[in-house]
């Protein structure tokens, strides 16, 4: 969808997005992940035709979005996190009818399109209520409904669940997943690792405007140098557990401990290329190391593939500008 995208700002030519290429396939969720200022929103805004690239190409459903922004815009839906862009004194339905007009949907199609997206976003029952009286969750669903009006093949979602209550965010996530399952391509930015892990088929990690690694969670973890992680807790008296375990385990693992309540939570990050054959082999090595520091194998020991959050934190230093 984009190739060689470049965007600079200001007289000194600050490079916000640098030679960025990515594609979003139908039915796929492609997530952009990166620290503040990495260039995610700038990328989304260029894809949405809100910002012209300094150089590079953008194609939306085959349309050259730089040359034909209006045609491209008709083929994409955009949701910006925390955006206000609805009329608070108008009902949800009237808001959507207005946006349908703006999109040029004809009179016959527009009623039907509005009813369809209201239904789809679970807003049919509150369609006549004023948008100003909506909760954040309902508003975000209204934004999604607006983005879906022309049945676009591509959705651009910039932080779509930021600021939503923990019980509302999963509803929005479910809707995003359903849209992708129905064939919509989704470009998603999010600071929530569990959200990206849950939704994304492909993750592009961006640092300083460039894609650092692209792939699945395990690809990102491998790039970060982590394979599996083991986690367990120890009683308060083991204040030096990480140091002592590190001595026993050597270079094949990094051991970190932090206090949680009145105990220590210990995490062992096994190197992506460590020599252990499988999970059980690591647990055996760990049990020996734990015995050496004078404790039995904790009952809550779990060894599993590294999570996205663990992988991302291991990468964080390499992503800064």
The binding site for ligand ATP (CB under 6 A) comprises 9-10, 16, 34, 36-42
Compare residues 30 and 238 and give the one whose CB is closer to ligand ATP.
30
Compare residues 15 and 256 and give the one whose CB is closer to ligand ATP.
15
Q: Cα–Cα distance between 129 and 111 in angstroms, integer?
A: 17
Is the torsion defined by CA of 23, 24, 30, 32 positive or negative? positive
E-assigned strand segments in the chain: 2-9, 14-22, 29-33, 55-60, 63-64, 76-80, 154-158, 185-189, 202-207, 210-215, 226-235, 253-260, 263-271, 302-305
Compare residues 42 and 140 and give the one whose CB is closer to ligand ATP.
42
**Closest distance between ligand ATP and the C-beta of residue 46, in Å?**
9
Compare residues 209 and 227 and give the one whose CB is closer to ligand ATP.
209
**Closest distance between ligand ATP and the C-beta of residue 39, in Å?**
4
Nearest to 311 by CA among 219, 202, 231: 219
**Closest distance between ligand ATP and the C-beta of residue 35, in Å?**
7
**Closest distance between ligand ATP and the C-beta of residue 319, in Å?**
10
Residue 212 contacts residue 54 (beta carbons within 8 Å): no
Compare residues 150 and 160 and give the one whose CB is closer to ligand ATP.
160
Q: Cα–Cα distance between 1 and 60 in angstroms, integer?
A: 6
Q: Which residues contact 196 (CB under 8 A, 6 or more apart)?
A: 31, 33, 188, 190, 203, 308
**Closest distance between ligand ATP and the C-beta of residue 206, in Å?**
7
């Amino acid at each position: 969808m984009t190739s060689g995208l470049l965007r600079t700002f200001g007289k000194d030519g600050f490079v916000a997005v640098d030679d960025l290429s990515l594609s979003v396939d139908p039915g796929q969720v492609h997530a952009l992940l990166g620290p503040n200022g990495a260039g995610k929103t700038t990328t989304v805004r260029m894809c949405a035709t809100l910002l012209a690239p300094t150089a590079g190409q953008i194609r939306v459903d085959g349309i050259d979005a730089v040359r034909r922004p209006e045609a491209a815009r008709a083929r994409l839906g955009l949701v910006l996190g925390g955006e206000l862009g609805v009329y608070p004194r108008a009902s949800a339905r009237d808001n959507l009818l207005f946006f349908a007009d703006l999109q040029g949907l004809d009179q016959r199609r527009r009623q039907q399109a509005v009813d369809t997206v209201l239904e789809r976003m679970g807003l049919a029952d509150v369609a006549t209520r004023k948008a100003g009286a909506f909760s954040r969750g309902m508003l975000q669903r209204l934004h999604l409904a607006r983005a879906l009006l022309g049945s676009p093949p591509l959705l651009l979602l910039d932080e779509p669940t930021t600021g939503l209550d923990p019980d509302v965010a999963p509803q929005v996530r479910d809707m995003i997943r359903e849209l992708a399952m129905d064939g919509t391509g989704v470009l998603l930015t999010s600071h929530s690792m569990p959200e990206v892990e849950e939704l994304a088929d492909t993750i592009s990690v961006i640092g300083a405007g460039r894609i650092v690694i692209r792939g699945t969670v395990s690809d990102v973890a491998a790039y970060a140098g982590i394979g599996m992680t083991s986690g367990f807790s120890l009683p308060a008296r083991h204040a030096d557990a990480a140091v002592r375990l590190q001595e026993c385990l050597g270079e094949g693992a990094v051991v970190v401990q932090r206090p949680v309540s009145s105990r220590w939570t210990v995490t062992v990050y096994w190197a992506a290329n460590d020599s252990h054959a499988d999970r059980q082999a690591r647990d055996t090595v760990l049990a020996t190391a734990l015995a050496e520091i004078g404790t039995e194998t904790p009952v809550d020991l779990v060894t599993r593939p590294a999570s996205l959050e663990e992988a991302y934190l291991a990468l964080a230093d390499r992503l800064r500008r």
